[in-house]
Copies of this chain bind each other. A is one copy, B any other.
Amino acid sequence: MAPSQKIAIIGVGLLGGSAALALRNKKKVRLVGWNHRASSRKKAAKLLRVAGRLEEAVEGADLVLLCSHSNSIASFLQRTAPLLSPSALVMDVSSVKGEVVREAAEVPGANRFFVPCHPMAGKEKSGPAHADAGLYRGRVVFITPLPQTPKALVQRAFRFWRSLGAVPLVVDAKVHDRQVALTSHLPHLLACALVDLYGAREKETPKLRRSVGSGFRDFTRIAGGNPDMWGDIVELNRNEIRLVLSRYRRILRILEKNLREGRGAFWKGFFQRARNVREKLG
């Protein structure tokens, strides 16, 4: 009979809480959670057993899922490395990977226990109250290993994500950051910028609210994301975001020019092309 496995979830918010829900009915899993703030530990306790101290959660864990922001990963690894069992696997779930890989690689021996991950899963609502056992089902999870990570360790990360129904994929951290700059970080900035403009105009024209339809709601939904998390993401991936924002602004400049000059043929082609690309995304 296989021995039971201790899984520690550090940071029980939406992502950590959803993992807890997906794992808590599995056989031979001892689940323990921890949150930095006492108030958050209280909320987490509705989903899983919560340790009183971080050390208690991490000690002897076979698997640690670290659900905190990208800029806190390296210091966590440094602090907890001495407590980990020799066979422990630590994974994070943060959104920017280049900096995480660079900083973690400076923690001695981290490549023997730490595998950086980024699940493409989320909701506009954060916090454990919105946790969902099916959050990872069918979602891509990017895995961006440190240099010279043992294959077996990466394979364990793979198996973990598959057990939650996710689709793990190994990718270079820089490639990852460039891609999510376009597909996740830029859209977030664009939605926030529109909401910003809307907010300014609504002050002048309170009735503006009546003109908000479902399209505007869908388009701006992502602007409801956690401001602290997004501050960190932008800080850590600002070079890639800046490049793609600059390309995007060039497109808008062309659109403004065509609005000024009123070219029917340009617009029908532009909208047709966009619809074609969009339809393929489903």
Number of residues from A at the complex interface, CB < 8 A:
90
- Nearest B residue to A228 via CB reads B268
Contact B169 A120 (CB under 8 A): no
**Interface of chain A residues 212 through 234 with chain B (CB within 8 A):** 212-228, 230-231, 234
Contact B234 A267 (CB under 8 A): yes
**Contact residues in B for A180 (Cβ distance below 8 Å):** 211
Complex CA gap A239/B135 in Å reads: 43
Complex CA gap A213/B15 in Å reads: 15
Contact A278 B187 (CB under 8 A): no
Contact B259 A234 (CB under 8 A): yes
Contact A213 B245 (CB under 8 A): no
- Residue of B189, B211, B230 touching A182 (CB-CB under 8 A): B211
**Interface of chain A residues 229 through 282 with chain B (CB within 8 A):** 230-231, 234-235, 238, 241-242, 244-249, 251-253, 255-256, 259-260, 262, 264, 267-268, 270-279, 281-282
- Residue of B169, B196, B202 touching A274 (CB-CB under 8 A): B196
Instruction: Given A122-B214, A182-B198, A281-B212, decide whether A259 and B271 contact each other with a Cβ distance below 8 A.
Output: no
**Contact residues in B for A230 (Cβ distance below 8 Å):** 267, 271
Contact A183 B196 (CB under 8 A): no
**Contact residues in B for A190 (Cβ distance below 8 Å):** 190, 194, 219, 252
- Nearest B residue to A243 via CB reads B259
Copies of this chain, whole number:
2
**Contact residues in B for A208 (Cβ distance below 8 Å):** 179, 182-183
User: Does A105 sit at the interface, judged by CB under 8 A?
Assistant: no
- Residue of B182, B226, B241, B281 touching A217 (CB-CB under 8 A): B281
**Contact residues in B for A41 (Cβ distance below 8 Å):** none
Complex CA gap A231/B274 in Å reads: 12
User: Does A210 sit at the interface, judged by CB under 8 A?
Assistant: yes
Complex CA gap A268/B279 in Å reads: 34
**Contact residues in B for A133 (Cβ distance below 8 Å):** none
Instruction: Given A120-B211, A235-B264, A256-B249, decide whether A216 and B183 contact each other with a Cβ distance below 8 A.
Output: yes
Binding site for B on A (CB under 8 A): 120-122, 124, 139-140, 142, 169, 171, 176, 179-180, 182-184, 186-199, 201-202, 205, 207-228, 230-231, 234-235, 238, 241-242, 244-249, 251-253, 255-256, 259-260, 262, 264, 267-268, 270-279, 281-282
6 contacting pairs across A/B (C-beta < 8 A) = A192-B274, A196-B277, A198-B277, A202-B277, A230-B267, A234-B267
